[in-house]
Structure 1
Amino acid sequence: MVLRTAVAIVAAAVVAFSIWQLESDRRGLSVSHGWVEDTPITIHQRRDADPAPVVVIAHGFAGSRRLMESFAIALAHNGYVALSLDFLGHGRHPLPLSGDLLREDGATLNLVAQIAQVTDYAETLAAGDGRVALLGHSMAADIIIRHAQVAPDVQATVAVSMFAPTITADSPRNLLVVTGALEPRLREEAIRVLRLSAGSEAAEGVTYGEQEDGTARRAAVAPGVEHVGVLYSRTSLQESVDWLDGVFGQRDAGPVPARGPWVLALIGAFIVLCWALSALLPRQTSIQDGAGLAWRKLLPIAVIPAIATPLILWPLPTGFLPVLVADYLALHFLVYGVMTWLCLALWSQEPRDLSRRMLVAAGRSIPTALMAGLLCLAVLFWIIDHYITAFSPIACRVPILLAMLAGTVLYFLTDEWATRGEGAARGGYPATKVMFLLSLGVAVVLDLESLFFLIIIVPVMLSFFVVFGLFSRWINRRTGRPMAAGLVNALAFAWALAVTFPLIDGG
């Protein structure tokens, strides 16, 4: 108990200091929120700054303007007006994204039109001086480049983790490409773009052309980061500031805060704090919930649903939710849970007794879930929403969240029952999560065109499985109520999937 108390004190101190550090990055800045027609925007600017160029900042697929805040803060501290937006269907934008997501004449045209509208607005800002630049990540890099190629007022473009097939030898003007060192394919794309104008000997870290006449190009690499980490890298931020300073002749140098380490410290310390505070949960009773299956019995229960679920859903229509691939995921969770229950029922040979025992265990777990889980989710989701990306659902996403919950709750309750209890197989809990992810992989292979975007969500689901798997372990060890963790996990996954993936109307 002494150790846990000491750990709790240290973890709480790290949480508090990380929040203080992240909030201190905003000191001296004015942060305002508004709308351009239906598009929600946020404007960061230094309180004492003179009128300056406006940088329109756009996020990538399934992102939000909050995810791009590191760039907004760095640019604002260096004298720029940073205007970030939520794309159609993303973040807190109330309208869905229409058009085919895989066609250039589909959703892409709607996003380019949105950027054009916001850029026109940026040129009229009183805090701006009429000059404008664009900065975008991943999907948005292609969108801003398409607009910059037809908008002569855009004097510079910063493309982070870019893939943009429309780039030519002289368009767009003053292009900086930033990639993470752990993005090999996108680094190759950056070199390809450089060679269009600089020749076959073009190399990273070298500026070609002249910023005065708009022909400048450069490919920069942020060390040690991948597709998301590149957004927090000090190299990414400094390269962007330096590039725009060169284009606009700015000499108003300010700090370039590296927020990534503090975000990681905040989340890590909070998870450690949860471990320490789990000692406050009611102690384990003599009756421990769960089937307690050894590997001999658990293995078929883990494998059969993983194979059967994608095969069952393959021929079925799944487009009943206005969120990209969320409808399929809801059904995958639901059918996977049903298949797991059927396997458990066959093993127990008493389906009615199994259902009764699981319902009783779930009922006993509700107080623990409320005590441990909901408070944990509230704080963790506040951290994500406030420092990483939009994570609070707008009104139109609440029904989607409930639909997702209908699928996730059955899966997580049956999975907890199968992998917990006296005599449960060691390593069974992570093994069933690996099988679930492999099952999603099979689904993608069977229907790549419709389910391609599931690939993007796998790293997020893996991180959630790890974090909430730890919570499950701590709750189970202390209370003997694994179904409490099942209820918490079900809500966590339903929430995350419902609020992050884009709203679509398929038009």
Structure 2
Amino acid sequence: MVNVARPASSWLVPALVVLLAAGAGFGLAGVDSGVVRTSTVVDGVPVDLVRPAASAGSAPGVVVAHGHAASRRLMADWGTTLARSGFAVALPDFAGHGANPAPLPDGPEREVRLAADLDAAVGLLRRTPGVDPERIGLVGHSMGAGAVHRYAAEHPAIAATVAVSLPGSDIPPDPALSADLLLLTGQFEFPVFHRAAEQALRAGRPDAVWGAPADPARENARRGGTVAGAEHLSILFAPRAHAAAARWLQDSLQVSAPVRVAAGERLWPAVLLWAAFAIGFLPFARRLFGSASPEPEPGSGLAPSVPAVAAAVAAGLGLAAAGSVLAPGGWSPLAVGGEIGLFLLLFGLGSCAVLGRGARSAHDVRDARGVRCGRSGSAWRPAAVICCALLAVAAPIGIALAEPVPHGARWWWTPLVVVACGIACAAAEFAARGRTGPRQDAVRAAVLVAALLGVGVCAVAGVLPSFVLLIAPLLGALLLWHLAWAAVLARTGAAWWLPAVVGGALLGWPLAAVSPLD
């Protein structure tokens, strides 16, 4: 008998997936060590309360406020850092964010609602046994930085404030400025955030003292700092930002304890789990669908020409831009996902219409050569891939980034955004039909990159929310993820439409999950 050794590649990828999943499990096992985390709802506001596992006497309290399109899950590491450093921490979900189903209004009512949500969190801390109600501080990021800055200015009982990435439009008028104010800005943030920090520092009251509040005589200390190597989102996971905020609050609220930074404690397990899903998809798809489908014959006429694809993309971008301009303001309850979803929907429909017309003119609409139809009688295989895609999205983002389960109007808007993204991905598959290998991958990527660039241009022009520019790295990462999985599916016997459905889930679900409710 001759023993045939299995190729190394047959076990190397599964072993790597197991290793990554195990690393994610070990990382999650150590999350929140040394602290106690409970969840509650106060006046309709979901709040996580994080306290030191062992503490003597009354601890000062700190409210940590998230930014626009974020939630308390994104700020969870901040709660752990501060709790380990001697504070009782409340992390609320603002209206329209996370698990809070109430919409966040526009205009002056927005500031009123944000202040009311902060009131609920501050009140919870003051009523919590073991928390000193006279020593309360605030931390906020982006929109949350503006909210805590205004709140502290209007409530003199707030002893200290840390504003991370303060927006320029959220600076209270002089002399209504918060006491013991620390302003942190990422090195690579947009200039508007650096100007906002400088303006807030220059607008100090006469009693403001530069430096740290360690000296009790300094009743209104003020300092600004730049976090090296960080931008608007990565500053939330920067150890320097965590340490600076914790030390500032300790000095102001008179806490003597070592600072124990938890920056990235949830992020890295989430990244490892995402990597396990991403890498494990290759053997998973091969086991489901087997070898690749027969390749189309060269010159079969199925593949649209490059000018035809370019014309389709141009038509799709034009229709998407026009539709976004004509859409009435406030038509969608999703402040970001609705607008981007409409853009991608119109882009996909416009591109498909032009490509379909070209196919009919070439008399090849009935030619099925090169189109992957999938295995007959195997509906469970595409269903398994779709379930894998949904789990690959929901599990990592639920650990560290956003609320994975839709709340409020997201229950019925999330499927709509997923469908819209899927139609844009279907346009890319339609444009890439008749090609194989790297050429097919290149056409698919070109179409979707053009759509993403169109979203960015419309955001710069004011047609789409400018906040899109801040989440552009997230959209780019999701696009790369989809392109990798689509390339895998295209090399198996999967049906041609499956990459479009999977792309809708990979792109649309996170987009809807982080979109605030207006």
Q: Which amino acid aligns with 1:281?
A: L
Q: Which runs of 5+ in 2 are unaligned?
A: 1-6
Q: 2:244 aligns with which of 239, 248, 253?
A: 239
Aligned to 1:473: 487
Distance 2:71 2:515 in 1: 10
Is 1:162 the equivalent of 2:166?
A: yes
| Cα separation, 1, equivalents of 2:91 and 2:84 | 15
Q: Would the aligned equivalents of 1:181 and 1:221 in 2 still touch at CA under 8 Å?
A: yes
In the other structure, the counterpart of 1:92 is 99
Q: Structure 2: how far apart are the matches of 1:170 and 1:97? A: 25
Residue matched to 1:37: 43
Alignment of 1:164-183 (within 5 A): 164-166=170-172, 168=174, 171-183=177-189
User: After superposition, what is the alpha-carbon deviation per residue over 1:363-390, rounded to whole angstroms, capped at 9, x for unaligned?
Assistant: 9795443222322321331121122221
On the 8 A contact 1:384/1:390 being kept in 2, the answer is: yes
1:107 maps to which residue?
110
Post-superposition offset of 1:224: 1.3
| Contact 1:18 1:266 (C-alpha < 8 Å) held by counterparts | yes
What do the CA deviations read for 1:101-135 (whole angstroms, capped 9, x no partner)? xxxx2312221222123212321211311121100
Query: For 1:294 and 1:97, how far apart are their aligned partners in 2?
Result: 47
- TM-superposed CA distance for 1:191, in Å, is 3.3
Q: Does the 8 A contact of 2:393 with 2:509 survive in 1?
A: no
What is aligned with 2:506?
492
Matched-pair contact (CA < 8 Å) for 2:320–2:342: no
SS of equivalent to 2:159: strand
Query: Conserved in 2, the CA contact under 8 Å of 1:314 and 1:446?
Result: no
Give the alignment partner of residue 125 of structure 2, picking from 122, 125, 148. 122
Q: Distance in 1 between matches of 2:311 and 2:118?
A: 51
Deviations, residues 61-92 of structure 1 (Å, cap 9, x unaligned)? 00000000111001111121111000000000
Deviations 1:19-38 (A, max 9, x none): 32243031232110001110
Q: How does 1:39-78 map to 2 (within 5 A)?
A: 39-50=45-56, 51-78=58-85
Shift, 1:457, TM fit:
4.1
| Structure-2 change in CA distance of 1:148 and 1:325 (3 Å) | same
User: What is the identity, as a one-letter code, of the residue corresponding to 2:251?
Assistant: G
Is the counterpart of residue 396 in structure 1 residue 406 in structure 2?
no
In structure 2, C-alpha distance between the alignment counterparts of 1:26 and 1:403, rounded to whole Å: 36
Structure 1: which amino acid aligns with 2:337? A
**Which of the two has greater helix per residue?**
1
Indicate conservation of the 8 Å contact 2:67/2:142, yes or no. yes
Contact 2:88 2:125 in 1 (8 A): no
For 1:276 and 1:210, the matched residues in 2 are separated by: 61
Shift of 1:502: 0.9
Partner secondary structure for residue 166 of structure 2:
coil
Match 2:333 to one of 322, 329, 333: 322
Q: Tell me, in whole angstroms, the C-alpha distance in 2 between the residues paired with 1:271 and 1:249.
A: 46
1:435 to 1:133, Cα distance in 2 relative to 1, 3 A: same
Structure 1 pair 366/499, CA: closer, same or farther in 2 (3 Å)? farther
Q: Structure 1 246/255 Cα, relative in aligned 2: closer, same or farther at 3 Å?
A: same
Matched residue SS, 1:314 = helix
Relative to structure 1, is the Cα distance of residues 85 and 177 closer, same or farther in structure 2, using a 3 angstrom cutoff?
Answer: same
User: Aligned equivalents of 1:355 and 1:142: distance in 2?
Assistant: 59
- 1:433 paired with 2:453, answer no
Per the alignment, do residues 263 and 403 of structure 1 end up closer, same or farther by CA in structure 2, a change over 3 Å counting? closer
**SS in structure 1 opposite 2:96?**
coil
Change (3 A) 1:234 1:303: same
Quote how far apart the aligned CAs of 1:44 are: 0.9
Gaps in structure 1 of 5+ consecutive residues: none
In structure 2, how many angstroms separate the alpha carbons of the residues matched to 1:447 and 1:25? 41
Equivalent in 289, 313, 316 of residue 305 of structure 1: 316
Matches of 1:351 and 1:495, distance apart in 2: 37
**Percent of aligned pairs sharing the same letter:** 22
Alignment equivalent of 2:420, drawn from 407, 410, 432: 407
More displaced stretch, 337-346 vs 408-417: 408-417
Q: What amino acid is the match of 1:379?
A: A
Give the letter aligned to residue 24 of structure 1.
Answer: G
Equivalents in 2 of 1:46, 1:459: separation in Å?
35
Q: Flag the 1:190–1:389 CA change in 2: closer, same or farther, 3 A.
A: same
Letter in 1 for 2:152: A
Residue 391 of structure 2: aligned partner: 378
Q: How does 1:207-286 map to 2 (within 5 A)?
A: 207=212, 210=215, 212-253=217-258, 255-259=260-264, 260-286=267-293
Q: 1:12 to 1:91 in 2, by over 3 A?
A: same
State the number of aligned residues. Answer: 495
